[in-house]
Amino acid sequence: MTKNILIIGATRGLGASLATHYASLPSTSLVYATTRSSNPPPSFPAPSKNDAHKKIRWLLNVDISQPDIGSILTTQIRPDNATLDVVVVSAGYFGFESFDAPDWEKQVTMYTTSAIGPVFAVQALVKSSLVKEGGNGKVILISSESGSITLRHQSEGGGNYGHHASKAALNMVGKLLSLDLKDKGIAVGLVHPGFMRTEMTRSVGFDKYWDQGGAVTPEESAKSLVDFVENDFDLSKTGTYWAPRGPGDIGTAEPVLGKNLSTPLELPW
């Protein structure tokens, strides 16, 4: 049985790699990939020899930080009369802050993108019967280990209030969605995809930690995430919070949780 996939936030970084990886799988029928633009991204790879990218259909003008996110999504998907097996909300924004320089607008954008928009996107998709029910549908919200209150440790200090707290808020959103959708047989998971070598982490100066922190490429992260979603995550794990790549890139994991941690690793709230 082939599958339909939706990647919200697919123009760069992890989202683009997820769209490409899912499109390369024989089990994938169609990948819906969203962009905030009115045109598909010109930088996206051209179709390869096996035409994997022909499986990708771009949904345009989709901005998860806007209140019309639900209607914009459903209006473009509904005419296909397709249902989605997997929905991945990968859209994100990281605005660097410190105690000396908190930023109101950055925080509003981070909370809206991480913890408000996903509620309206998922609600609209489910209410429109666009997500498979009966134990077959999965909603994956891309969180971060930075959203774990338990893992916050003196060794890493404070700062980045909006980023960390918006991911903690997203974790609560995912937990609540899992309760609302369990009876429909739709599993909801929170995932830390790994510390990645992306423009997002470079833009906040984290590229200086890439080597020390074991940062991986978005392609590597996408593969491990898809493997986890397809092979390990199901309704029995709904409402839980995971690091598919394990503790390797989480600097506070061993100081807080101890040694000999498993992979995949279920993260504490």
Q: Using CB atoms within 10 Å of the CB of residue 130, give its burial: 0 to 12 exposed, 13 to 18 middle, 19+ buried.
A: buried
Q: What is the pLDDT of residues 185-198, one digit of tens each?
A: 999 999 999 876 66
Supply the pTM of this predicted model: 0.93
Any idea which fold 3-266 has?
Rossmann fold (3.40.50)
Average pLDDT over the chain reads 91
Strands 28-34 and 86-89: unpaired
Interhelix angle 117-127/69-77, nearest 10 degrees: 40
Whether residue 207 has pLDDT greater than 70: no
Per-residue confidence band for 51, with pLDDT thresholds at 50, 70 and 90: low
Whether residue 46 has pLDDT greater than 80: no
Name 120's bridge partners: none
Q: What is the pLDDT of residues 139-160, one digit of tens each?
A: 999 999 999 999 998 877 788 9
Question: What pLDDT is stored for residue 65 in this prediction?
Answer: 97
What tokens were used for 90? 């990968």
> Mean per-residue pLDDT for 55-78?
97
Measured CA to CA in angstroms, residue 96 lies from 13, 23, 180 at distances of: 18, 33, 33
- DSSP letter for 79, please: G
